[in-house]
Structure 1
Amino acid sequence: MRLRRPTDFLILEALQAHGRNVATNLAEHTGKSRKNINSRLPVLADYALVDKIGPANRSGLYELTKKGKVALMYQDKYDEVEDFGELVEGPHAADAPSAADADAGAEAAMVRGENEDEFDDDE
């Protein structure tokens, strides 16, 4: 796995911070050109770090995968290890929460009536 630094990690970080997104928005979040983002997203998808999702095959909507989250966890080790792909695919990959898990947690909080903007300071 050969990633382009810092661009690829910036894309992964933007997807983690902002959720599923398209190249135009990712370019804005990362400060990189849309052309650059568009050239890197298919590579990241080939490495299974992001998934191309959406109702249409050509929607251009991407989300971070579990493997992408693991890559972010270990990005500081990228230059230290011989095979970053092996590190990312190792036993820790199963520990990273999926985007679906995060969505389910947020939905459950809404159902329970929890809102992170509402806090009762009277306690």
Structure 2
Amino acid sequence: MRLTVPTDFEILRALSDEKRNNAINIAAEIDRNRSYINTRLPVLADFGLLKRVGPAPNSGLYAITEKGQLVAEHQDVYEDDSTDFETFIEDRLTSED
């Protein structure tokens, strides 16, 4: 998983209230370009950190996943090159089950 620091973490934190939101609102909240946020949201969804939610399939609404919450909370571990971040997150996910 290749994340863009700090923007991807800012997106995850903006959604960490567990409410759904769209690119225009997230961009305004974190003071970033909307079109750039539109490119990052599907990438984060592909990583399993966000999920696309309704009411319509192409509504552009996203919500954070459990994995996304963990990633948002551990930016410091992601930035530590001595740690395998994906293994770290997967270990946390399986220990919570």
Provide the TM-score with structure 1 as the length reference.
0.71
Give the corresponding residue for 1:102: none
Give 5+ residue unaligned stretches, structure 1. 97-123
User: 1:27-77 CA distances to partner (integer Å, 9 max, x unpaired)?
Assistant: 011111101100000110000000001121101000010000110121111
Give the corresponding residue for 1:10: 10
Structural RMSD (CA) = 1.7
C-alpha distance in structure 2 between counterparts of 1:86 and 1:31, whole Å:
31
Equivalent positions of 1:33-112 (< 5 A) are: 33-80=33-80, 81-90=82-91, 92-94=92-94, 95=96
Q: Judge conservation of contact 2:67–2:89 (CA < 8 Å) in 1.
A: yes
Q: What secondary structure sits across from 1:38 in the alignment?
A: helix
AA paired with 1:83?
A: D
Give the corresponding residue for 1:115: none
AA paired with 1:64?
A: I
Cα displacement (A) at 1:83:
2.8
Equivalent pairs: percent with the same residue? Answer: 45
AA paired with 2:90?
A: E
Cα displacement (A) at 1:17:
3.6
Cα displacement (A) at 1:18:
6.8
User: 1:71-120 CA distances to partner (integer Å, 9 max, x unpaired)?
Assistant: 01211111214432221122x22539xxxxxxxxxxxxxxxxxxxxxxxx
Q: Which has the higher contact order (CA 8 A, sep 6+)?
A: 2
